Amino acid sequence: MSRFTIPRDLYHGKGSLEELKNLQGKKAMVVVGGGSMKRFGFLDQAVAYLKEAGMEVALIEGVEPDPSVTTVLKGAEKMREFEPDWIVAMGGGSPIDAAKAMWAFYEYPDTKFEDLCTPFNFPTLRTKAKFCAIPSTSGTATEVTAFSVITDYDKGIKYPLADFNITPDIAIVDSALAETMPKKLVAHTGMDAMTHAIEAYVSTLHCNYTDAVALHAIKMIHKELKKSFDGCMTARAEMHDAQCLAGMAFSNALLGIVHSMAHKTGAAYTGDHIIHGCANAMYLPKVIKYNAKNEEAAERYAQIADHIGLGGTTTAEKVDALIAELRSMNDQLDIPQAIKFYGAGGVKAETSIIDEAEFLEKLPAVAANAIGDACTGSNPRQPSQEEMEKLLDKKVISVSAKEHLGINELEETIKTMFFHGKLEFNDEVYITNVRHKAALKNACDSLAMVRKSIADGMPEDFYSIDLMSAYEELGKIIGEAVDDDLVNEIFSKFCMGK
């Protein structure tokens, strides 16, 4: 048996904030973030509507981006003092996520944060209060989801809390609030929403109900995000609806390792936080490449490509077209393609603000934490420690294809192996057979993509996954794991003529 859970009521459209005056209760605790809701007048409007409903109103203000366990516990204490029967959270994902966790500690003061980290382990809520969520950004969709992300800064880890109990009772999706978003926030939250919809569609827990809203959300985001980024308020309203649909999909189908990686890298480094939506945008293309080795996942990615009209004849061509389109969207939205290009605030930079030595030192632990993340279980493939480290590695591959013109030579070597049936390497002769034919063909296909990318002037990160795929296929034939040393050996032997 499967389950599809969304808020009991969802009010949407410009001006729908007014629905607050129809809530029935005695006391409302309003939770907001850093000040934008007050600055643009929406907080005053909300308070006025709640008072018109006959309620006493108190505020919890100043919830920080990536809210902490400390913030949650302090907020819950204020709730216990005020004793609201409605919790109204408004703003970006952070205040709404924080308010969800506060809700649990308000109703169950003896609860331990560690207990809530176990998926679907919340106590029964609504013994004291109901919950209304009002988003001002178009990405997290926390107003309709069973999720909340809270950061333990002592451990440097973001924890996704998951339980249908914390799905809000009422969601108000008023596009007027989204009109105030700055461009960078539009970009990051928009690609967060795209990641939600794509991961939900290929999740191992997808169903007919989640597929419908996921596909439509993908189509809307693909059509409207760049226009919203450029300031079109009609597109901004469409994006506010699209991200909500994506939230309905992933809240019920769950997510995958793009989010696992984003959760565990977000607060891991001293240089700065890696903004969640930006992290998803960077990781999504390489995860699609990785997941597409699963036949069912590849077919579903191809269906997405068809749905948004990307072209391609074979499944592989459609998957590659989807990857290329997502990377193109990142470029159009000024989002870096990899951590090594991650600048302050999540914009493109020639030098990353994440220190490479620290990144490499923490890579094994971060990879292990990502594998253990709650989102990993519903991913189409379950990565090993080595695979996760490769997916996270900011360099992806130790040899820059820009430094040589040997792709043609490597491709010719593979074709010779295909037709003549042997490979001479390190004074050994490896006889290729029928079982190697697929690996050789895959290597040729990958190299063809590399050559096209170089010809099109694409950055190294754009084609490094394809280059690594070619090396992996060679590794299958010579029977060794493809590590950096082996990559360099093969590179030197076949690409540099040494």
Query: Contact 282/338 with Cβ under 8 angstroms?
Result: yes
Model confidence band, residue 473 (pLDDT cutoffs 50, 70, 90): low
Q: What is d(CA 434, CA 347) in angstroms, rounded to the nearest whole number? A: 47
pLDDT value at position 449?
73
Write out the DSSP string of 128-188: S-EEEEEESSSS--GGG-SEEEEEETTTTEEEEEE-GGGS-SEEEE-HHHHTT--HHHHHH
- Among 150-164, 296-310, 320-334, 440-454, the range scoring the smallest mean pLDDT is 440-454
Model confidence band, residue 431 (pLDDT cutoffs 50, 70, 90): low
> pLDDT (tens digit, 9 = 90+) per residue, 293-311?
999 999 999 999 999 999 9
- Among 33-42, 119-128, 276-285, 430-439, the range scoring the smallest mean pLDDT is 430-439
3-class DSSP state of 56: strand
3-class DSSP state of 377: helix
Model confidence band, residue 435 (pLDDT cutoffs 50, 70, 90): low
Residue 426 reports pLDDT greater than 60? no
Q: What is d(CA 294, CA 288) in angstroms, rounded to the nearest whole number? A: 10
Going by C-alpha positions, the residue among 56, 55, 183, 189 that lies closest to residue 135 is 189
Dihedral of CA 384/280/198/241: which sign?
positive
Query: Contact 157/114 with Cβ under 8 angstroms?
Result: no
Strand duo 170-173 + 157-162: pairing: unpaired
> pLDDT (tens digit, 9 = 90+) per residue, 223-241?
999 999 999 999 999 999 9
Query: Contact 279/262 with Cβ under 8 angstroms?
Result: yes
pLDDT value at position 169?
98
Exposed e or buried b per residue across 317-341, where buried means at least 16 C-beta atoms within 10 angstroms of its C-beta: bbbbbbbbbbbebbeebebbbbbbb
Residue 153 reports pLDDT greater than 80? yes
Residue scoring higher pLDDT (75 or 393): 75
> pLDDT (tens digit, 9 = 90+) per residue, 264-288?
999 899 888 899 999 999 999 999 9
Residue 493 reports pLDDT greater than 70? no
Distances (CA, A) of 479 to 311, 414, 432: 36, 16, 11
Model confidence band, residue 403 (pLDDT cutoffs 50, 70, 90): very low
Q: What is d(CA 126, CA 176) in angstroms, rounded to the nearest whole number? A: 29
pLDDT value at position 401?
34
- Among 17-26, 251-260, 336-345, the range scoring the smallest mean pLDDT is 336-345
pLDDT value at position 462?
60
pLDDT value at position 158?
84
> pLDDT (tens digit, 9 = 90+) per residue, 179-203?
999 999 999 999 999 999 999 999 9
pLDDT value at position 481?
42
Query: Contact 340/395 with Cβ under 8 angstroms?
Result: yes
Q: Which regions of 293-334 does DSSP assign to beta strands (E)?
A: none
CA 274 to chain centre: 12
Mean pLDDT along residues 7-33? 97
Q: What is d(CA 57, CA 51) in angstroms, rounded to the nearest whole number? A: 7
Most confident by average pLDDT, 247-256, 405-414, 417-426, 473-482: 247-256
Q: What is d(CA 355, CA 359) in angstroms, rounded to the nearest whole number? A: 6
Residue 11 reports pLDDT greater than 60? yes
pLDDT value at position 79?
98
pLDDT value at position 276?
94
Residue 319 reports pLDDT greater than 90? yes
For residue 29, the cross-strand partners are: 58, 87
> pLDDT (tens digit, 9 = 90+) per residue, 197-221?
999 999 999 999 999 999 999 999 9
pLDDT value at position 171?
98
